[in-house]
Amino acid sequence: MDKFYKKTLYELETAINELEIGADCSIQRIEAVIHLILECLSDVKEYVLKRGFKNADEEIRFFKYQKPTIVAKLIYYNTIYKIETKKPYGAKPIRKYLNKELKKLKRFFDNNLDFYKYYRSNNSFLDESFFVRGKHDIKLWLDTYYFQSDHTFSTSHDYKVAKIIANDLIQVYIEDLLYNKFQKDKSKTQKKLKWTGSKVALIELIYSLHYQGVFDNGNNDIREVAQYFESAFDIDLGNFYQTYLELRNRKMNRTKFLDALREELLRRMDEQDEK
């Protein structure tokens, strides 16, 4: 199953990428992508019904991770199609319309908070009820959609997983529209940011980015990267080589700033998930 799924997903994503590069009209492109995904799902369904699953673990993996990944693409593109075709004219109506769409996503999150927590915490104790066909429990957050679906190719919660994946993408799409429409053009001259953290923290960040090879595929010298940051943030890093040596020689907390960044980002993500 895994080999077939990986091959199918790769071919689908390749076809979608080719359409996004070649199509002129975005609406026509989205329509074409939706048809591709529907054909893909039809092929996957035929394969699953013909082959079946080796065991419950394979079935759970398919309905918890594999099928939702494809269905999420269908939900995403179908939603984007509706947003683009129903979008009103005028700055204020568009802003109101897009914010209303964001509220729909928030409402889905609020109505499914328990399942969000279960899924995003990588829990598995209810997987057999959620992701094995014919094992549904009406007490476990069932949608009406499930009762109308094809139970030979659906479980009680695989569609809900797909919605979670798709909604994250839809939120990014809408927020990008809002930014590009109402924020980006407010000022063509961007305010210069001032680094208010410590120089040691910035040097730690610079070295980590440099070693990751994220600038020019790593084809530059650390001095070039440091000078760029000095110019961008109007800061003098002094002898950053010496500072880096001091970081290396620390007995504890050699990556204090990076660790703090990660912890704070995860904390904020958790907070936003609970809103």
Query: Tens of pLDDT along 214-257?
Result: 888 888 888 888 888 988 888 888 888 888 888 888 777 888 89
Same domain, 169 and 209: no
- Can you tell me whether residue 142 is helix, strand or coil? coil
Identify the domain containing residue 255 by its residue range: 199-274
My answer on whether 82 and 176 are in the same domain is yes
Residues 136 and 234 in one domain: no
Same domain, 213 and 240: yes
The answer to whether position 188 is within a domain reads no
Strand, coil or helix: what is 260?
helix
pLDDT at 158: 93
Full 3-state SS string of 148-202 = HCCCCCCCCCHHHHHHHHHHHHHHHHHHHHHHHHHCCCCCCCCCCCCCCCCHHHH
Decide if 194 is inside a domain.
no
- For residue 218, what pLDDT is reported? 80
Whole-prediction pTM value?
Answer: 0.66
Report the chain's mean pLDDT, rounded to a whole number. Answer: 87
- Domain match, 70 and 139 both: yes
What is the count of structural domains for the chain? 2
User: Could you tell me if 11 and 142 lie in one domain?
Assistant: yes
- Verify that 139 and 57 share a domain, yes or no: yes
Examine the fold and report which residue of 147, 182, 217 is the final residue of a domain before the chain moves on.
182
Residue pLDDT, tens place only, 39-62 = 999 999 999 999 999 999 999 999
106 plus 141 within the same structural domain: yes
* Residue 147, pLDDT score: 74
Do 166 and 265 lie in a common domain? Answer: no
pLDDT at 189 over 90: no
Range name among 16-20, 76-80, 158-162 with the lowest pLDDT average:
16-20
Question: Tell me, what's the pLDDT at 220?
Answer: 82
* Residue 190 placed within a domain: no
Q: Do 177 and 213 reside in the same domain of the chain? A: no
Together in a domain, 171 and 232: no
pLDDT of residue 184: 54
Does the pLDDT at position 101 exceed 90?
A: yes
pLDDT digits (tens, 9 = 90+) for 105-128: 999 999 889 899 999 888 999 899
